[in-house]
Each structure stands twice: as structure tokens, then as C-alpha cells.
Amino acid sequence: MNKLYLGGIIFTALMLLFTYMSVSGSEGGLNGDIVNMLAVAGAVALVIITVFVVTKYVRQMQTDTADGQLADEKWDGIGEYLNDLPMGWAILFFALIVWGMWYFVMGYPVNAYSQIGEYNEDSAAHNTKFETQYASITGDKLVEMGESVFLAECKVCHGINADGIDGKAANLNKRVEAKSVKHVVINGSNNKLLGMEMPMPDRNGLVNGATGAAITDAEIDAVSTFVANGMKGAGADVFANVCAACHGADGKGMDSVAPSIATFNPTLVANVLTHGKKGAIGEMPKFDRLNAKQKEAVGAYITNLSK
Ligand code: HEC
Ligand code: HEC
């Protein structure tokens, strides 16, 4: 008999023997354990198919002679035959793309059985329970809850006193620092502070209503100090002429037009937590893991701090 076939048969026999030994040695063995018996049947089928296929191709390599048309390109002297794409392969390729899209969009059970699905279902259930349980909390209790959220999630960057740890994050004891106002007036802002896309124009879009000219460097400095000082002192005229149209005469903002830059409020904080924020100081991550009530509570806490 051909050496190749003989080798194949010996290899198959050895593999089957090892499979049998390792399974029968395990707990339960083969005695009536359906799962173990299925595993062995599967292993036997795999071994036989593998040896059969490998033998076929080794045989083919031994006897094949080269024919067919060579492609013009040669890579390091190695030629390549012009072969048609196998139809089965092409069909499988496109079917896999379609299947991949289906699996990505709706096949993976994001809200049913799967690890991620189970987690999502559990956290949704927890959040509903949490929100019904604490729905009626207001006032001091809400601020207290906000303090505990703050200490757990925010103090790493904002500091235990919310002072921003020497400029690492925003100082939340006051609404906004001069350098942040200046940064926003010069560069504009697009942080969804109103909860939706409503950007503030950069300096080229800010016109002094009294002079009709674009805002000047001196005016930017003056208005930044004015806002940072809690809407007091020099710069009031610039604010009235350039900013008040959107932010309101008192700087407290207008619904769907501009946010308050005079005070914090829970809605503003919740929007920062939902969308994150980039500014002069750096980048604040968004906090998807907080539920609506927790955002409201930490918003109440910060509003209270900056009063
Ligand atoms: C055309 C309307 C408009 C005008 C005029 C305007 N703003 Fe704004 N401003 C906005 C909007 C909208 C936002 C929110 C942008 C966002 O979501 O990031 C904003 C955001 C800001 C912020 C960011 C607050 C924060 O927490 O980061 C500051 C500071 C600010 N404005 C200051 C000013 C000053 C000072 C002026 C006048 C020199 C001014 N704005 C003029 C519309 C305006
Ligand atoms: C990884 C650090 C980090 C963490 C954690 C963090 N923040 Fe911030 N936060 C920042 C930075 C940096 C800024 C300043 C962004 C800028 O340049 O305007 C900021 C800005 C803010 C602002 C906007 C201030 C303004 O003037 O508009 C609010 C509100 C805020 N954070 C609240 C929170 C709350 C509430 C938490 C906890 C749930 C939190 N932050 C957790 C880094 C952080």
C-alpha cells in the first residue's frame, strides 16, 4: 500500500485512541453520558474528515503538473496563475457581508439574552426601580443625594471641595472663569449645553450692537472679567451690546437660545453630563452611567454650591 495512505490510517487510529483515552479518563467517562458520547462522535468525524482531506491534497501535490495561463506580474520571480474566482467562494463572501450587517444591526441581542443584553436589561430595570423609589425626592434630600454622587464620580477631577484641583477641571463653586469665557468668545462653543445642537458663534460672528463692528480684543477682556465676576463691574456695556441678545440681560440665558452663564442650574449640569464638554480647561467625559435622577441630584448639588 502507498506510504501516504498507511501513514494516514496510523495517524487516524492514534488520534481516535487518544480521544477515547482522554474522554474515558474524565469524570463520568463514556458510560451513558450523552454529552461525552456526542463529543467523541464529533471528534471521530473531525479526525476522519481531516485525514481524508489532507491525504487528498498531499496526493494531488505529488502528482499535479503545472498548466494554465500565468499572470504578467511576477513578485520576486514568483509567478501566479490566472484563475477565475470560485463561484461558491464569491457567493459566500457576499452572504457573509450581508450576515455581518444583519448581526451587527439586529442579530446580537442587545436587550435580551447575551452578556451585554443581560447587563442592559438589568441596569434598565435598576434605573426604573431607582427612579420610582426616589421620584418624590426634592430640596435638601436631592442635594444630599447629589453630594454622594459627586463624591463617588466627580471628586477625582473636580476635587473634594469642587474647586477644580488647581485648574485640572472647572471650579464648580462659581459659574465660569475668565479664561473660559475668553476661550468661548474667541473660538465659539459647540457642547450641546442646551441639550441640543445650538452652537455659539466665534468672535467673527459677535457684533457690538452699538458700534456695528466685530468684537475687539479689549472688549473680549472686559466682558470675560465681567462674566467671571458674577456679572458685576466693568464690561457691563459690552455684555449688553454683544451678549445680552442671546444670554439675556442678566446672563441667565433663554430657552432654546443660549444657556445661563450667570448661574448653574440642574438642567445645564445634566446636559454637560449627557454630552461631555470641551473647553479652555480640558475635556470633561460624558456620564452615561448616571440615570436622570442622579444627574438632576448632582445638578442640584452644584447649583447649591455656586449660589
Ligand atoms: C448668537 C447667540 C449668542 C451670542 C451673541 C453669545 N452667545 Fe454665548 N452662547 C450661545 C450659545 C448657543 C451657547 C451654548 C453653546 C454650546 O452648546 O456649547 C453659548 C455659550 C456660552 C458660554 C459657555 C458656557 C460654558 O459653560 O462653557 C459662554 C462663557 C458664553 N456663551 C459667553 C458669551 C459672551 C461673553 C458673549 C458676548 C461676548 C456671548 N456668549 C454671546 C449663544 C450666544
Ligand atoms: C475626568 C475628569 C472629570 C470628571 C470625572 C468629571 N469632570 Fe466635570 N469637568 C472636567 C473638566 C476638565 C471640565 C472643564 C471643561 C472645560 O474646559 O470647560 C469639566 C467641566 C464640568 C462642568 C462645566 C463647568 C462649566 O463652567 O461649564 C460641569 C457642570 C461639570 N464638569 C460637572 C461634573 C460632574 C457633576 C461630574 C461627576 C458626575 C464631573 N464633572 C466629573 C473634568 C471632569
Ligand 1 atom closest to 257 (CA): 12
pLDDT, tens only, 269-285 = 999 999 999 999 999 99
* Averaged pLDDT, 97-103: 94
242 C-beta closer than 6 A to ligand 1 = yes
Q: Is the pLDDT of residue 59 over 70?
A: yes
Contact 180, 142 (CB under 8 A): no
**What percent of the chain lies above the pLDDT cut of 70?**
97
- Whose CA is closest to atom 37 on ligand 1? 243
* Averaged pLDDT, 151-170: 94
284 C-beta closer than 6 A to ligand 1 = no
172 C-beta closer than 6 A to ligand 1 = no
Distances (CA, A) of 293 to 127, 134, 138, 149, 270: 9, 8, 10, 11, 10
pLDDT, tens only, 63-86 = 888 788 888 888 888 888 888 889
* Averaged pLDDT, 48-70: 88
- Tell me the ligand closest to 258's alpha carbon: 1
Residues lining ligand 2, judged by CB closer than 6 Å?
A: 153-154, 156-158, 169-170, 176, 180, 269, 272-273, 277, 279-285, 287, 298, 302
Please tell me the distance from the alpha carbon of residue 180 to that of residue 178, in angstroms, as a whole number. 5
Q: Backbone dihedral region of 188: left (phi > 0), alpha (psi from -120 to 50 degrees) or beta?
A: left
CA 290 to chain centre: 15
Q: Is the pLDDT of residue 5 over 70?
A: yes
Indicate the range of 15-29, 60-74, 135-149 predicted with least confidence.
15-29
Q: pLDDT class for 37, splitting at 50, 70, 90?
A: confident
- Tell me the ligand closest to 254's alpha carbon: 1
- Whose CA is closest to atom 10 on ligand 1? 200
* Greater model confidence, 110 or 92: 92
The CB density around residue 220, as the number of other CB atoms within 10 Å, is: 19
Indicate the range of 119-123, 180-184, 271-275 predicted with least confidence.
119-123
Q: Is the pLDDT of residue 32 over 90?
A: no
